[in-house]
Structure 1
Amino acid sequence: MLTGESTRTEAGVVPRDLTALRETARRDAALAEERRVLAADTVAALTRAGFPRHFVPRELGGAAGEFAPLVAGAAAVGEECAATAWCAALFAAHGRLAAYLPPEGRHEVWADGPDARIAAAVVPPQGEATAVDGGWRLDGAWRPASGVDHADWVLLAAWTHGTQGREHRVLAVPRSQVTVVDTWHTSGLRGTGSNTVRCAGVVVPRHRTFTLDVLLRPQPGAARCHTVPYPMVAALMFAAPLLGVARGALRAWTGERIGAERPHPATHTVLAQASARIHTAGLLLDGAAERADRARITPLTVAENRRDATTAATLCREAVDALFHASGLRAQSPDSAVQRAWRDATALAAHAALDPDAAARSYAEAVLSPTGGAAA
């Protein structure tokens, strides 16, 4: 679940404070865009809505929640502000990553409760990790780290040397031990504050680290959300805010044309096709979330989720692109909701986790391998 008290509906667990978060995100969206970072009120609201604790283990006070309510919640927030939805989804996703730390490390990260906000820069490995007694010393820079200005902890990744050779190691560092450099000057997702993190001689004990390969292996006795391999859900979580952005763009574009006496003939086609793409994307993400929460985990189901999430992202980007280009001069105004959605959707869809070509290769390999099984 996404919060302490909730109402179960057919769609799953609905966060108690999601409505308040949407209102706050809508109100502060322009401020976040201008300042290139979320407002403190917005971050407090997304924390109350339960996103940071969504995947935190139950024994540490978290929800160990399912993917369906997270996808639905992030999409709902994305209708109001892409940056808020992005940071909310990532605070949840990074809590899931931190749950793979050794027990002592998990207890340190959530010593003050399950609402600790965690930023991350884990792909690709950056900076330099030097082995020291009992851990590693970190030096260098990592970017981008979305929401880092409001984070309590940061997960950073660097190459280390182990018995099996080079390792992609993730290290948990208190936010107080890093320096944040203002480098996030972009056209889209401006409000995410995805700035650069610098470390200078920060020592991280071994118990606050893990190698990335553990994300591919289920944890014995863990909740379902901690047994699903990372490739099965990464694109799903990144695509959820984009679905919300597309829905918000459609709402804004349609609202501008309601009651028009003589709409342009192309309006009918643009509206029908964009709404169909967005509706289809929602169905694909719902199915992928259900698969992540319920289906047997196989190479094929993992590949199906990547296929569906990246396809949904492409459909959303195409829909927003069509709406923007059908807006004429109206969308050139800096106050245009459609323009902002277009910039945000373009930035979101460019994320490496939403690469449709990589997902297609993975799906083809799963289907065409001798043990791949039948496609969905």
Structure 2
Amino acid sequence: MPTSTQDIPLTGVADYSAPRSADWGEYRERAIAEGQRFLDAVEGILDTVRAGRDTSEAEGRVPDTSIEAMIGTGLFRAFTPLRYGGLEMAPAAFFEGIMRIAEADSSAAWVAGQLNVHSFEIALMDERMQDEFWGETPDARASSSYAPTGKWEQVEGGYRLNGTWTFSSGVDHAQWIILGGRDRNFVVPVSDVSIDHNSWDVQGLKGTGSKAVTLADVFVPDHRTHLLIDTYNDANPGWKVNNRPLYWVSFTSLFNSTPTNTVIGTATGGIEAFLAQSRIRVTRMGTGAPAAQDPFLQLTLAEAMTTVRTIKERHLRNWRGLFDLACRGEEASPLERMRVRFEAADSIATCYESLTEVWPLAGASASLSANPLQQVMRDLMSARNHGSAKKELAAGKYVKTLFGLPPAPFTDLGTLNYYK
């Protein structure tokens, strides 16, 4: 495993801390090429992931076979720095790969997206934290629980953590966990926490295993802490070794856009299932006529297909644009970030609403446990309640920025969305 920035030369760039004014064209092309290789690899695992969907649902965790298959595509190295054997791929390609996985298993896609996006935050932190995190494998994974529900106190050399943090998606497949502390985040080895395996009793996105974790007098050294003021001040310690376009992209924008990928893929898969079933289904209301001849079904299906496809194209276009901007050494304005933030949340809401229009035309058999359509609906309902899906809140930030109204002062992860 490489241990210095000189072990893996960056194509076209001699210095890992090159200025933003450097020519990052070759870096961009390399990142896009890595993304295409990833997408090609994803196509080869979809049958495996689809075969694990029932296990995800039954056991409340994504099966190890699905996780191993995703590891093989390079998914968990997407945002790992090159110096640790990572890929630093273009975000839009990673997002599209998650969408395709979601068509096979929503929970697998959700866990894959959440576990991987945290690597981006680790790359912004102290180099010692990065060495510990990726010291054994570039596929290292961290789950998270950003809501500050536990307790912490500052002590000599770091912090002491106690209490319970909830909804840590994919914690069963993580080696580390990131815990929220309002204006800072703490990184803790999973071996230091107690996982409550009975805390995740849900009906939607059940396979994500978003369980609660409890800590008792766990010490977190300073270098395992992400002070959000560092991001606010453009003083991320990780930029000393990872000063490249990928890591200039807004972390909060990336994080809030990640659940959208699962939702778009889930909605796409749901529409495909509805289409396949409607081809052979006949109505039972005394006619026996083919469902495909129903003009209301035809219009609803056409609208849903167009809506979800348009949402997908908009989301990927936004992220191609943000990465291109970073590769030009430029920073997205607050207005641009708030637009992307709103459109990511809007995508979740719109995909959910499109499937609720389709659902009444799916027939009574759609409610059968064995029918994937009912699982699609449950998964979309759960995703609609995620913090990143708060379309109403995101709209407020976006339109206030349009009007030039003053933003809330920086205090925590939530207000950091506007600034960085």
**Fold in common (TM above 0.5):** yes
Deviations 1:309-354 (A, max 9, x none): 1222122111121222221311110111111001101111221112
**In 2, Cα distance between the equivalents of 1:40 and 1:215?**
35
Q: How far apart, in 1, do the equivalents of 2:318 and 2:354 lie?
A: 20
Which of residues 189, 195, 218 is equivalent to 1:180?
195
1:230 maps to a residue whose letter is F
Instruction: Give the AA of the match of 1:262.
Output: P
Cα drift, residue 158 of structure 1: 2.3
**Percent identity at matched positions?**
25
Which of 263, 268, 285 is 1:242 aligned to? 263
What residue in structure 1 maps to residue 217 of structure 2? 201
Equivalent residue in structure 2 for 1:346, among 365, 381, 386:
381
Partner SS state of residue 52, structure 1: helix
Pairing 1:26-45 to 2, within 5 Å after superposition: 26-45=50-69
For residues 279-298 of structure 1, give each alpha carbon's deviation from its aligned partner in whole angstroms, at most 9, with x where no partner exists: 11112111221122123411
Contact 1:135–1:206 at 8 Å: present in 2 too?
A: yes
Map of 2:82 onto structure 1: 58
Return the offset for 1:175.
1.1
Q: Normalization by structure 1: what TM-score? A: 0.89
CA distance in 1, matches of 2:125, 2:348: 30
Structure 1 CA distance for aligned equivalents of residues 268 and 229 of structure 2? 36
1:280 to 310, 313, 320: 310
1:81-106 Cα shifts (integer Å, max 9, x gaps): 00000011111111111112211111
Residue 390 of structure 2 is aligned to residue 355 of structure 1? yes
Q: In structure 2, the residue corresponding to 1:204 is in which secondary structure?
A: strand
Alignment coverage as a number of residue pairs: 358
**Aligned residue for 1:18?**
42
> How much has 1:232 moved relative to structure 2?
2.6
Q: Match of 1:164? A: none
Q: CA shift at 1:9, angstroms?
A: 7.0
Select the structure of larger CA radius of gyration: 2
Q: CA deviation at 1:246?
A: 0.4
1:129 and 2:164 equivalent? no
Instruction: Give the number of the structure whose residues are more often helix, by fraction.
Output: 2
The Cα shift of 1:307 comes to 2.2
Paired residue secondary structure (2:76): coil
Partner of residue 356, structure 2: 321
1:73 shift after superposition? 0.4
The question of whether the paired residues in 2 share the 8 Å contact of 1:20 and 1:45 is answered with no
In the alignment, the residues of structure 2 paired with residue 331 and residue 196 of structure 1 have an alpha-carbon distance, to the nearest angstrom, of 32
CA distance in 1, matches of 2:314, 2:38: 20
**TM-score, normalized by length of structure 2?**
0.80
What's 1:106 paired with?
130
Unaligned runs of 5+ in 2: 1-29, 282-288, 326-330, 408-420
C-alpha contact 1:250 1:275 (8 A) present in aligned 2: yes
Segment of structure 1 superposing worse, 172-181 or 363-372: 363-372
Cα pair distance change 1:11/1:108, threshold 3 Å:
closer
| Residue equivalent to 1:162 | none
Question: How much has 1:217 moved relative to structure 2?
Answer: 5.2
Matched, 1:145 2:175: no
Quote the offset at 1:10 in angstroms: 12
Query: Within 1, Cα distance between the matches of 2:167 and 2:84?
Result: 28
Q: Spell out, residue by residue over 1:137-171, the C-alpha distance to the aligned partner (whole angstroms, 9 max, x if none).
A: 11111111011011111111225xxxxxxxx2211
Structure number with the higher strand fraction is 1
What is the deviation of 1:11? Answer: 8.1
Does the CA-based 8 Å contact 2:165-2:179 persist in structure 1? yes
